[in-house]
């Protein structure tokens, strides 16, 4: 992912130098060549990200948006900030379009949290933690145009604690939450605590493999909803606006968090420690999988649900940690929660598979 943006962001200085020093007819030729190179770069980017535009007019409009985002990224990177921008898979979208097409945490319900908030604030914690290295995190997934970010945060947290307790990393079903969790709004947003509450009341959740993601809301599959492959015993809220308590929580397991992710810099993020502009209007559910420090700058490790072609490390962002605002960078410390698991998972139920096998065998004879 990172190779292409490096090519796209190179070469502007030569054009600027010609513009300042060459006669007008040479400038025109250079600018024409630059425009051709830009269009070729755009088409290469579009092919790389499998973009398909219905009409030539739509392709041209996307090209102009892409150019604007490229110029914005170039200007940002020239300032030598602690994070870098580039031509992510969303570089043909305006900020407003990107906000509309990504998922949101349910704003109306965000303060109706249900957990108990029993984080032990006296525990000592290691200097750094990364649950990916300990086999408790599945690869970054892609919510696509469905506003289901909250489900990916929920499944990621449950996947994490299940792997820690059982030693088995099982990818769990976001689609089940989209279809079956009646308290939340599926592709129109939700709240992580309500997702945990659904799994608790349903006595478990099915696997991604059995109930795969479709990026749209449908009818709840009762048979699959009844497959309680992974269970939890409760869920707890981390004390809000307290990064030290959040560190202690994530030192034990991956933690669901809500952040503000609607700004242009977030859309085009490709690396570094993000300390850029973002509000604390929570609108996106993600998963906190660790923390660390680099060159004296502290950061959180955050798993997103925008696919592996965004961010760093195939779908992640590193958010600045221990900032002056107690709410944290982009509101990272405002609404954290996590599932509790103490019991074993149920034994696998093969009765449905056996019945299906016997039925098909009978038909064969």
Using one digit for the tens of pLDDT, what is the confidence trace for 13-61?
Answer: 332 322 233 333 333 433 343 456 899 999 999 999 999 999 999 999 9
Residue 289 host element (H or E)? strand 284-294
Q: DSSP string covering 244-262, please?
A: HHHHHHHTTS-EEEEE---
d(CA 134, CA 160): 10
Give the DSSP H or E segment for 236. Answer: strand 234-237
- 3 state SS of 234: strand
How many angstroms from the chain centroid is the CA of residue 325?
23
Q: Tally Cβ neighbours within 10 Å of residue 133.
A: 11
CA atoms within 13 A on the CB side of 362: 6
pLDDT at 277: 84
DSSP at 140: P
Best CA proximity match to 238, nearest among 258, 220, 222, 223: 258
Q: What gap in Å lies between CA 325 and CA 54, rounded to an integer?
A: 45
Residue-wise pLDDT for 137-154, tens only, equals 999 999 998 999 999 999
> Is it the case that residue 103 has pLDDT exceeding 80?
no
Indicate which residue of 149, 180, 278, 330 is catalytic. 149
Smallest CA-to-CA distance from 236 within 290, 299, 157 is with 157
Note whether 286 and 302 are within 8 A (CB): yes
Give the separation between CA 353 and CA 71, rounded to whole angstroms.
Answer: 56
Which of 69, 162, 242, 304 is catalytic? The answer is 304
pLDDT band at 119 (very low <50, low <70, confident <90, very high): low
* Gap between the Cα atoms of 91 and 94, Å rounded: 8
pLDDT of 10 strictly over 50: no
Residue 25: its H or E element: helix 24-48
Distance of alpha carbon 255 from alpha carbon 233, whole angstroms: 16
Q: What is the mean pLDDT of residues 105-120?
A: 53
Contact 149, 103 (CB under 8 A): yes
pLDDT, tens digit (0-9, with 9 covering 90-100), for 152-185: 999 999 999 999 999 999 999 999 999 999 988 8
Mean predicted lDDT score pLDDT of the chain: 84
- List C-alpha distances in Å: 152 to 2, 239, 252: 24, 22, 19
The answer to whether residue 345 is catalytic is no
**Other CB atoms within 10 Å distance of the CB of residue 263:** 18
Q: How far apart are the first and last CA of the chain?
A: 52
Q: What pTM was computed for the model?
A: 0.84
Backbone angles phi, psi at 300, to 5 degrees: -100, 150
| pLDDT for position 313 | 96
Exposure string of 158-176, with b = 16+ CB inside 10 Å and e = fewer, is bbbbbbbbeeeebbbbbbb
């Amino acid at each position: 992912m990172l190779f292409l943006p490096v090519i796209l962001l190179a070469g502007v200085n030569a054009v600027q130098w010609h513009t300042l020093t060459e006669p007008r007819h040479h400038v025109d030729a250079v600018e024409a060549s630059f425009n051709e190179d830009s269009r070729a770069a755009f088409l290469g980017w579009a092919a790389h990200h499998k973009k398909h535009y219905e009409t030539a007019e739509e392709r041209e409009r996307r090209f102009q948006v892409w150019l604007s985002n490229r110029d914005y990224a170039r200007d940002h990177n020239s300032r030598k900030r602690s994070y870098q921008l580039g031509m992510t898979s969303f570089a043909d979208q305006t900020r407003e379009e990107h906000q509309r097409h990504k998922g949101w945490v349910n704003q109306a319900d965000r303060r109706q949290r249900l957990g108990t908030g029993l984080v032990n604030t006296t525990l000592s914690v290691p200097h750094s933690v990364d649950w990916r290295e300990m086999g408790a995190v599945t690869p970054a997934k892609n919510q696509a145009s469905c506003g289901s970010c909250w489900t990916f945060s929920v499944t990621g947290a449950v996947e994490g604690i299940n792997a820690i307790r059982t030693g088995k990393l099982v990818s769990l079903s976001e689609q089940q939450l989209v279809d079956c969790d009646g308290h939340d709004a599926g592709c129109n947003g939700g709240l992580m605590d309500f997702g945990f509450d659904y799994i608790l009341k349903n006595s478990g959740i099915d696997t991604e493999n059995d109930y795969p993601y479709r990026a749209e809301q449908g009818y709840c599959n009762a048979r699959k909803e009844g497959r309680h492959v992974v269970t939890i015993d409760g869920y707890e809220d981390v004390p809000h606006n307290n990064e030290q308590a959040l560190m202690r929580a994530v030192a034990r397991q991956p933690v669901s968090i809500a952040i503000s992710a609607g700004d242009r810099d977030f859309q085009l993020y490709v690396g570094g420690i993000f300390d850029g502009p973002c509000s604390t209007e929570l609108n996106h559910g993600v998963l906190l999988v660790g923390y660390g420090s680099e060159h004296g700058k502290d950061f959180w490790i955050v798993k997103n649900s925008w696919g592996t072609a965004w961010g760093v490390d195939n779908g992640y962002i590193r958010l600045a940690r221990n900032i002056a605002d107690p709410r944290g960078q982009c509101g990272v410390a405002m609404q954290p929660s996590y599932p509790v698991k103490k019991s074993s998972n149920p034994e696998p139920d093969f009765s449905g598979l056996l019945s299906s096998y016997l039925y098909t065998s009978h038909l064969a004879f």
